[in-house]
Structure 1
């Protein structure tokens, strides 16, 4: 009897093991680990990134950050229309601030002599209103880079990728932060700045105040060694003073 009971128990244990193994084989495998780190863009993501970039091509925006030029970093704050028609803000060098004005694609800058010296520009600043017209290569042209220029660097390539909220275009020195609010930060051409959409009045109002009667501006020049210098104002050319012809002598009287 003991042998029979033992055999039954052994059969029952074997049957239970078979049932457990069969049921366990139906359990779905664990999900694969979630991939981390940069990943290539899907077609849908590429279209979404392109749409967000295109939203920067028009309208008013504010930019706040730094620009790198000549091995140095300068603070910059701008409110601008994307077409470069209007804008104003400040440029900071060595803790000193100067005013930026954008008017129909022309970039103006003004400040006192310590500010210009901090930028590496010699000479006295122009007389009031004090505006200087910046040449395209001053500080690498980074005082105002048109959105069309830096957006071209951020356009998706075949190697574009996302790493969390950071988007890399696949070109060197070109990335952006992407959120539900759109493009909120850019790193392009040595420009590192937060960007946000604003109202037109936030651009035109300050620009009108800063740039009232700005005039043509004084162009920057270069010294014989190639250093930037503030060219002295050219004195106005005055018309020659009128001359009066001497009266002919009176004829002698007889």
Structure 2
């Protein structure tokens, strides 16, 4: 992976991570179209640049993450809810890591997931009309856990972590905006755990000697530069994408994203069946 390719993938990550259109799916598509080989570093890079996107959430919502520290036991409930919400993804992600890796190599899985998810987003506002939870403080631990279970669906490429957790939030009677914001909050521990696992715990077996993620990054100067630039680009683009999404969501809802997913899903299936996308 050269620097240009790293920047393109990072832009895709930043744009799509918090929109309900699947960042993983778009990165798989972008990698395929760019002809980037499925090396261990490429796979690691597509996970590790989530660090930049995570920081965008922390910076935009820094008061929400910092203020609980000064509120004693009551304030710490915010962090406790995030821990409860992230548990399903941590457990199932650890148990089914190999199966998830295999799915990450499948453009067909992405195409079908994009198409089906788009249909759901077209009608989501009609599915869940009763919004009784308007503030984060009113989200209960069972609410957080069930939203976390919905988030697990995003382990299938193309589903979208953001879409799954927002749908879960609305199913739990959160308002549209609160469901989106809680999805952002929940992304921080979820994506941090996935990135930390890929960098420090997981052994990548693409070479003769299995290596951990940080060893792959330090393998060459090009890898280190790509990793650094990728996270910076993902951070900046994610900042802009989050602001756009919240403002757009307040005014128009999910319909446009549903239409977009359906169009992309159909185009992908055409490209796959005609042999242009492997």
Q: TM-score range, shorter-chain basis?
A: under 0.3
Q: Please identify the structure whose Cα radius of gyration is greater.
A: 1
| Normalised TM-score (structure 1) | 0.27
Quick check: which one's helix share is greater?
A: 2
Quick check: which one's strand share is greater?
A: 1
| Normalised TM-score (structure 2) | 0.25
